A and B are shown apart, each in its own frame.
Chain A
Amino acid sequence: MELINPGIGLIFWMSLAFGIVFFILKKFVWPPIIQALNDRERHIEEALQAADIAHEEMKKLKLDNEQLLKDAKEERDAIMTEARKIREKMLEEARVKANQEADRIVESAKERINHERLAAMTDIKNQIAEISIEVAERILREKLTAPKSQQEYIERLLNEKQLN
């Protein structure tokens, strides 16, 4: 029975204590706490949004970078291909030119050789002639040492001359 017999005194003290607690908490405690919690939540929300935006931008930037890189690669490839083509062309040209030059050189060498050969032939001919003449002269001188034969030879030569 005493368990369910509330005392008026306790009701009074409870009301007083709870009233004081409620008043102080309502006045000095809950407003700053609720305010701070709201502020923080809003701040976190904003920070998250900002992070999202930054993330998005980073993504875009990265995409841009990738595009740029891709473009650069393509350009490089193009340039490389072009360069390769040019090199090949140049090589080809050089080869052709070199061939031509070689041909020309060979040709000219051939010509020169021919020329030289001709010259040498002529020289040889001349030398042979000279040698022949000398030989002939020696022979003649040998033959003509005798006045008689000298005479005969002169006569023959004169005859020949006359005949001409």
Chain B
Amino acid sequence: MKESPFWRFILVLVLTVGTLQVFANEEQATATHETPGEQHAEADFNPGEVIIEHLVDAYEWHIANIGHTHISVPLPVILYDEGQWHFFMSSKFHHGKESYKGFYITHTGMQKGKIVRKAADGTEVKPLDFSFTKNAFAIFVSSAVILLIFLSVARSYKKTKRHAPKGLQSLVEPLIIFIRDEVVKTSIGEKHYLKFLPYLLTVFFFIFLNNVMGLIPIFPFGANITGNLAVTGVLAICTFLTVSFGGNKNYWMHIFNTPGVPWWLKIPIPLMPIIEIVGMLTKPFVLMVRLFANITAGHIIILGFVSLIFVFGKTSLYAGYGMSILSVALSIFMNFLELLVAFIQAYVFTLLSSIFIGMAVEEHAHEEHAHDDHHDSH
């Protein structure tokens, strides 16, 4: 009974967003077709470069090329360099071709794609870059969407009270209940779950909606938000902070003075504490990388299929047309898969966060045991 509304929700989501994707992909296909032709002067189509270009953050929001005109939304660049703030729009770079105030977007080296400045000795210096980039913009758009959705849902809850959910409310309710009952309550336990529920629900819906929005290739969606290490890193740090501040005495005791371990593993070389601390830091790191890698991989595969059309199109026009049928079919399949992945990754992130929190707030049964051990070590 608990399952059925949830699966119905997934089905509806797949059907609605899925059909949208078909058209959207075609649009994207034409867009990618123009981009390489323009940038690489019709020389060769480099799918790797195109794909990476679509995945990484950018200082402007490139939408499409029509003929030789770039259609893109310029975004503010904010730099702090040598005690001075610089504010200007990214359109000053003329799509990365020109420099402005000595700053330019480098196309080579470690800082490829970032704004740098040539220093006196000829090396590239990176200023502190607080630019409101494509991903930052997309994050604020999706945050606005999330707030719109949930403020309206909260309002309907105040209105319907004990009655059955309506509209948007019934769309998110199964997910809220699923996260609350199947993820948070089971991982953290009846006693403490309510304290962490708001954070975990926020994380789940933030990741899930950003994953889904990342699949919609129409401005202002389609930015690869959850496939960006900065974004997943911040989320992972939030979980890490929650675990660290939510952790009880036992949790910290377990890290610095692991019970049930011979004393010589702790003194004089604190081997166990080091291992525990590494473990403590590995958890958020894994969270960060898993989400990033899964979402990025999905985007790469979809973009790869689309690129195939143009790779084949280079050899023969008919091969390109032929391939486009297969590619579109495969992209549709991948998009469906990505919808599933969008949910699964949000679920996994929330589940693992819950489990880590659950481990930190757990009341250990072997407290007495640890106490004895503590005496031994002195």
Given A7-B57, A33-B176; A39-B162 close (CB under 8 Å): yes
A34 touches B (CB below 8 Å): yes
B111 to A, closest residue via Cβ: A5
Q: How far is the CA of A17 from the CA of B162 in the complex (A)?
A: 33
Which residues on A sit within 8 Å (CB–CB) of B352?
none
Which residues on A sit within 8 Å (CB–CB) of B146?
21, 25
A8 near B158 with CB under 8 A, answer no
Which residues on B sit within 8 Å (CB–CB) of A10?
57, 133, 135-136, 228, 230-231
B201 near A25 with CB under 8 A, answer yes
B199 touches A (CB below 8 Å): yes
B238 to A, closest residue via Cβ: A18
Given A1-B112, A21-B206, A32-B154; A9-B136 close (CB under 8 Å): yes
A30 to B, closest residue via Cβ: B198
Query: Dominant SS at the A interface?
Result: helix
Q: 1/0 per position for B122-139, CB-CB distance to A under 8 A?
A: 000000111111011001
B266 touches A (CB below 8 Å): no
* Least CB distance, A114 to chain B, in whole angstroms: 103
Q: Which A residues between 1 and 27 are near B, CB-CB below 8 angstroms?
A: 1-15, 17-18, 20-22, 24-26
Which residues on A sit within 8 Å (CB–CB) of B158?
32, 36
Q: How far is the CA of A134 from the CA of B112 in the complex (A)?
A: 181
* Least CB distance, A56 to chain B, in whole angstroms: 24
A37 near B177 with CB under 8 A, answer yes
Q: How far is the CA of A24 from the CA of B152 in the complex (A)?
A: 13
B52 touches A (CB below 8 Å): yes
Q: 1/0 per position for B85-115, CB-CB distance to A under 8 A?
A: 0000000000000000000000000111110
Which residues on A sit within 8 Å (CB–CB) of B133?
7, 9-10, 13
Given A6-B233, A33-B153; A13-B140 close (CB under 8 Å): yes
* Least CB distance, B96 to chain A, in whole angstroms: 13
B369 touches A (CB below 8 Å): no
B52 near A25 with CB under 8 A, answer no
B216 touches A (CB below 8 Å): no
B319 touches A (CB below 8 Å): no
Q: How far is the CA of A10 from the CA of B50 in the complex (A)?
A: 22
B143 touches A (CB below 8 Å): yes
Which residues on B sit within 8 Å (CB–CB) of A29?
150-151, 153-154
B150 near A2 with CB under 8 A, answer no
Given A10-B136, A25-B202; A30-B113 close (CB under 8 Å): no
Q: How far is the CA of A4 from the CA of B224 in the complex (A)?
A: 13
Which residues on A sit within 8 Å (CB–CB) of B56?
2-3
A40 touches B (CB below 8 Å): yes
Q: Which B residues between 151 and 165 are near A, CB-CB below 8 angstroms?
A: 151, 153-154, 157-158, 160-163
B234 near A28 with CB under 8 A, answer no
A43 touches B (CB below 8 Å): yes
- From B132, B163, B202, name the one whose CB has the most chain A CB atoms within 10 angstroms: B202
B78 near A17 with CB under 8 A, answer no
Which residues on B sit within 8 Å (CB–CB) of A31?
198
B63 touches A (CB below 8 Å): no
Given A2-B56, A24-B147, A32-B154; A13-B139 close (CB under 8 Å): yes
Q: How far is the CA of A3 from the CA of B56 in the complex (A)?
A: 6
Q: How far is the CA of A13 from the CA of B135 in the complex (A)?
A: 9
A11 near B198 with CB under 8 A, answer no
Given A33-B157, A39-B162; A8-B176 close (CB under 8 Å): no
Q: How far is the CA of A43 from the CA of B145 in the complex (A)?
A: 32
B55 touches A (CB below 8 Å): yes
B24 touches A (CB below 8 Å): no
Question: Closest 3 CB pairs between A and B?
Answer: A6-B230, A13-B136, A10-B230
**What are 5 A-to-B residue pairs whose CB atoms are below 8 Å?**
A2-B56, A3-B52, A10-B136, A31-B198, A33-B153
Query: Given A5-B113, A20-B143, A30-B198, 7 more contacts at CB 8 Å?
Result: A3-B55, A10-B231, A18-B139, A22-B199, A25-B146, A32-B154, A32-B158
